[in-house]
Amino acid sequence: MRLLHGRPVAERVNARTRERIAALHARRVRPLLAVIRVGADPAAESYLGRIRGLAGELGIDVDGLVASDASGLVPLIRRADAGAHGMLVLTPLPPGVGEAEVAEAIPPDRDVEGVHPYNVGLLTLGRPRFIPSTAEAVLELLRFYEVPLRGANAIVIGRSPIVGRPAAALLTQEDATVTLAHSRTADLASLTRAARIVVVAIGRRGFLRGDMIAPGATVIDAGINVTPAGIAGDADADGMAQVAGALSPVPGGLGAVTTALLLRSVVSAAEEQTR
Ligand code: NDP
């Protein structure tokens, strides 16, 4: 089984992003990303740390803003709008504020994580502008490793707005034939066994077993499950090793690509806004 490592994919993306940032800096534009969150969630803090690390290397400024409670979140988004080229609201959101309300508060031209209904609509129409970075990372990884997509049967397990749904839209755009599965899907294993490409994004450690996939299938694991032994994916890595043709490992797969693509989107936003 081939491991689809994210590092070389991220490096290729970052190399191009560096060139674009140099061009912006030459015009005295310094891309700025506002990262907004409520309270302190350990997973969100760790994602912010990775964003800051890469942004610092690339030459992008990151403004971390914290709302003290749910009611302060939307006003904080409106304030951040003044200076930032890109805005990202970290999840989980606290009770008392809805995903839709937050997504709609972000101006579409700064919505680098592609959650505003306008950007979601463009993606659905096959005219993507800003795309949720984990979903985009799924495609970037498949393209980098030259996994054939046209005409391939693909299944995406999980239909969240930030991973499953946009990943299914992107695969459809690449001419794969896509099934979007979720917690109410009947006889999931018969669908996954019929697929050449399986994307799993549900948040349950080891959920996808070896006996659920076709021999030689490519498995992209978006799951991040914190265990006492470290981070584990949604696919059972040992089971995959017996059957799959290729697997994106967790850790070491989508994570680095996701951060690289988020920051690439910040650069696109800065370019558009300063043209
Ligand atoms: P959500 O909780 O928003 O969505 C989970 C999805 O999985 C839902 O659509 C749900 O179905 C589906 N699901 C749950 N149980 C089952 C089941 N038994 N069979 C089939 N489908 C099921 O999660 P996210 O999309 O936000 O995250 C998914 C995973 O991806 C998590 O592990 C998360 O940590 C990770 N993630 C990784 C990122 C990265 O950068 N690599 C970024 C974001 C998330 P239903 O709709 O019916 O409830």
pLDDT interval class at 25 (50, 70, 90) = very high
Cα separation, 27 vs 29, in Å, equals 6
pLDDT interval class at 228 (50, 70, 90) = very high
Do residues 199 and 167 lie in contact, with contact meaning Cβ atoms separated by under 8 Å?
yes
Look at residue 274 in the predicted model and tell me its pLDDT.
96
Look at residue 92 in the predicted model and tell me its pLDDT.
85
**Is the distance from the beta carbon of residue 255 to the nearest atom of ligand 1 less than 6 Å?**
yes
25-107 folds as Rossmann fold (3.40.50)
Locate 149 and state its tokens: 């997509």
**Is the distance from the beta carbon of residue 192 to the nearest atom of ligand 1 less than 6 Å?**
no
Mean pLDDT of all residues in 176-205: 98
Residue nearest to atom 16 of ligand 1 (CA): 183
Residue nearest to atom 42 of ligand 1 (CA): 134
**Is the distance from the beta carbon of residue 73 to the nearest atom of ligand 1 less than 6 Å?**
no
**Is the distance from the beta carbon of residue 181 to the nearest atom of ligand 1 less than 6 Å?**
yes
Look at residue 155 in the predicted model and tell me its pLDDT.
99
Residue nearest to atom 34 of ligand 1 (CA): 224
Look at residue 41 in the predicted model and tell me its pLDDT.
83
Mean pLDDT of all residues in 220-235: 94
Mean pLDDT of all residues in 101-125: 97
Mean pLDDT of all residues in 6-23: 98
Look at residue 44 in the predicted model and tell me its pLDDT.
86
Cα separation, 11 vs 124, in Å, equals 28
Mean pLDDT of all residues in 69-90: 90
Do residues 33 and 61 lie in contact, with contact meaning Cβ atoms separated by under 8 Å?
yes
Distance between Cα 202 and ligand 1 center (Å): 3
Cα separation, 156 vs 34, in Å, equals 30
DSSP 201-219: -SS-TT-B-GGGS-TT-EE
CB neighbours (10 Å) of residue 39? 12
pLDDT of residue 256 exceeding 90, the answer is yes
Among 68, 101, 107, 72, CA closest to 88: 107
Q: What are phi and psi for residue 201, nearest 5 degrees? A: -145, 75
Residue limits of CATH 3.40.50.720 in the chain: 133-255
Among 41, 202, 250, name the best residue to mutate to test ligand 1's pocket (greatest count of ligand atoms within 8 A of Cβ): 202
Calculate the average pLDDT of the chain.
Answer: 96
Mean pLDDT of all residues in 196-210: 98
Among 54, 182, 219, name the best residue to mutate to test ligand 1's pocket (greatest count of ligand atoms within 8 A of Cβ): 182
Phi-psi region of 171 (alpha: psi -120 to 50; beta: other; left: phi over 0): alpha
Cα separation, 63 vs 204, in Å, equals 32
Mean pLDDT of all residues in 152-158: 98
Q: Provide CB contacts within 8 A for 243, sequence distance 6+.
A: 210, 211, 213, 214, 215, 216, 217
Do residues 118 and 108 lie in contact, with contact meaning Cβ atoms separated by under 8 Å?
yes
Look at residue 94 in the predicted model and tell me its pLDDT.
87
Residue nearest to atom 3 of ligand 1 (CA): 160
Residue nearest to atom 4 of ligand 1 (CA): 160
Do residues 159 and 125 lie in contact, with contact meaning Cβ atoms separated by under 8 Å?
no
Look at residue 178 in the predicted model and tell me its pLDDT.
98
Q: Provide CB contacts within 8 A for 32, sequence distance 6+.
A: 60, 61, 62, 63, 83, 84, 85, 86, 266, 270
Between vectors from CA 208 to CA 206 and to CA 213, what angle results, nearest 5°?
Answer: 145
Find the helix packing angle between 7-26 and 42-58, rounded to 10°.
Answer: 60
Do residues 120 and 161 lie in contact, with contact meaning Cβ atoms separated by under 8 Å?
yes
CB neighbours (10 Å) of residue 30? 13
pLDDT interval class at 259 (50, 70, 90) = very high
Dihedral of alpha carbons 24, 140, 258, 246, sign: negative
Look at residue 253 in the predicted model and tell me its pLDDT.
98
**Is the distance from the beta carbon of residue 182 to the nearest atom of ligand 1 less than 6 Å?**
yes
pLDDT of residue 81 exceeding 90, the answer is no
pTM higher than 0.85: yes
Residue limits of CATH 3.40.50.10860 in the chain: 25-107
133-255 folds as Rossmann fold (3.40.50)
pLDDT interval class at 83 (50, 70, 90) = confident
Look at residue 42 in the predicted model and tell me its pLDDT.
82
Distance between Cα 157 and ligand 1 center (Å): 8
- Report the atom number in ligand 1 closest to the C-alpha of 225: 32
Mean pLDDT of all residues in 141-145: 98
Look at residue 56 in the predicted model and tell me its pLDDT.
98
Cβ density class 209-219: b for 16+ within 10 Å, e for less: ebebbbeebbb
